[in-house]
Chains A and B, each alone.
Chain A
Amino acid sequence: MLTCNIGKKLGGFSLDVNISVEPGVTALLGASGSGKSMTLRCIAGISKPDRGRIELNGVALFDSEKKINLPPQKRNTGFLFQDYALFPNMTVRQNIMAGAKGKTAREKQAAAEELSEAFHIAPHLDKHPVQLSGGEKQRCALARILAGSPDILMLDEPFGALDSHLRWALEIELAETFKRFRKPVLYVSHNRSEIFRLCDNIVIINGGRNEACGDKWGIFKNPATVQAARVTGCKNIAAAQVAGTRVSVPDWGICFEPGDIPNDVDHIGIRANHIIPVSAAKKEDIAVAFPFEIANEIEDTFTYILMVRKQGTDLPVIRWEIPKKDRAALKEMPQELAFLREHILYLKQEGKQ
Chain B
Amino acid sequence: MDLFPLYNSLRITAIATTAAFALGLLAAYAVLRLPRVVKGICDSILTIPLVLPPTVIGYFILVTLAPRSAFGAKLMEWFSVTITMRWYAAVIAVAIVAFPFVYRTARGAFESFDQNLLDAGRTLGLSEKFIFFRILLPNCKHGIIAGTVIAFARGLGEYGATSMVCGYISGKTATVSTSVAFFWQINREDMAFYWVMINLAVSVVFMVLINIFNQPKVRG
Cβ distance B143 to chain A, nearest Cβ, rounded Å: 14
Using Cβ atoms and an 8 Å threshold, which residues of chain A touch B130?
Answer: 98
With contact pairs A87-B117, A88-B219, A131-B220 given, residues A45 and B122 touching in the complex (Cβ less than 8 Å): yes
Cα A187 to Cα B191 with chains together (Å)? 74
Using Cβ atoms and an 8 Å threshold, which residues of chain A touch B120?
Answer: 79, 81, 85, 87
Please tell me the number of chain A residues within 8 Å of chain B, measured between CB atoms: 29
Cβ distance B196 to chain A, nearest Cβ, rounded Å: 42
A327 within 8 A of B: no
Across the two chains, which residue of chain B brings its CB closest to A94? B134
Cβ distance A78 to chain B, nearest Cβ, rounded Å: 7
Using Cβ atoms and an 8 Å threshold, which residues of chain B touch A98?
Answer: 121, 124, 126, 130, 134
Cβ distance A160 to chain B, nearest Cβ, rounded Å: 13
A76 within 8 A of B: yes
Using Cβ atoms and an 8 Å threshold, which residues of chain A touch B126?
Answer: 73, 98, 101
With contact pairs A79-B120, A85-B119, A130-B219 given, residues A102 and B135 touching in the complex (Cβ less than 8 Å): no
Using Cβ atoms and an 8 Å threshold, which residues of chain B touch A102?
Answer: 125
A44 within 8 A of B: yes
- How extensive is the interface on chain B, given as a class? 20 to 34
Query: Which chain A residues numbered 62 to 99 have a C-beta less than 8 Å away from chain B?
Result: 71-79, 81, 83, 85, 87-89, 98-99
0/1 string, B22-43, CB within 8 A of A gives 1: 0000000000000000000000
Please report whether the interface of chain B is mostly helix, strand, loop or mixed according to DSSP. Answer: helix
Across the two chains, which residue of chain A brings its CB closest to B127? A73
Query: Which chain B residues numbered 206 to 220 have a C-beta less than 8 Å away from chain A?
Result: 218-220
Across the two chains, which residue of chain B brings its CB closest to A131? B220
Across the two chains, which residue of chain B brings its CB closest to A78? B123
Cα A244 to Cα B124 with chains together (Å)? 57
Query: Which chain B residues numbered 174 to 220 have a C-beta less than 8 Å away from chain A?
Result: 218-220
Cβ distance B135 to chain A, nearest Cβ, rounded Å: 5
Cβ distance B7 to chain A, nearest Cβ, rounded Å: 37
With contact pairs A83-B116, A85-B117 given, residues A72 and B122 touching in the complex (Cβ less than 8 Å): yes
B114 within 8 A of A: yes
Using Cβ atoms and an 8 Å threshold, which residues of chain B touch A101?
Answer: 124-126
Cβ distance A253 to chain B, nearest Cβ, rounded Å: 50
B139 within 8 A of A: yes
B138 within 8 A of A: yes
In the complex, which of the residues A46, A83, A87, A89 contacts B123, with contact meaning CB atoms closer than 8 Å?
Answer: A46
A49 within 8 A of B: no
Cα A88 to Cα B122 with chains together (Å)? 16
Do the beta carbons of A99 and B124 come within 8 Å of each other?
Answer: yes
Do the beta carbons of B125 and A73 come within 8 Å of each other?
Answer: yes
Do the beta carbons of A46 and B122 come within 8 Å of each other?
Answer: yes
In the complex, which of the residues B116, B218, B219 contacts A81, with contact meaning CB atoms closer than 8 Å?
Answer: B116
Cβ distance B62 to chain A, nearest Cβ, rounded Å: 44
Across the two chains, which residue of chain B brings its CB closest to A144? B124
- The 9 A-B pairs with the shortest beta carbon distances in the complex, nearest first, are A85-B120, A101-B125, A72-B122, A89-B138, A46-B119, A79-B123, A85-B116, A99-B124, A73-B125
Taking Cβ atoms with an 8 Å cutoff, the residues of B that contact A are 114, 116-117, 119-127, 130, 134-135, 138-139, 218-220
Q: List 18 extra interface pairs beyond A45-B122, A83-B116, A148-B124, CB under 8 A.
A: A46-B119, A72-B123, A73-B126, A73-B127, A74-B125, A79-B119, A81-B116, A81-B120, A85-B119, A87-B120, A87-B139, A88-B117, A88-B139, A89-B135, A89-B139, A101-B126, A128-B219, A130-B218
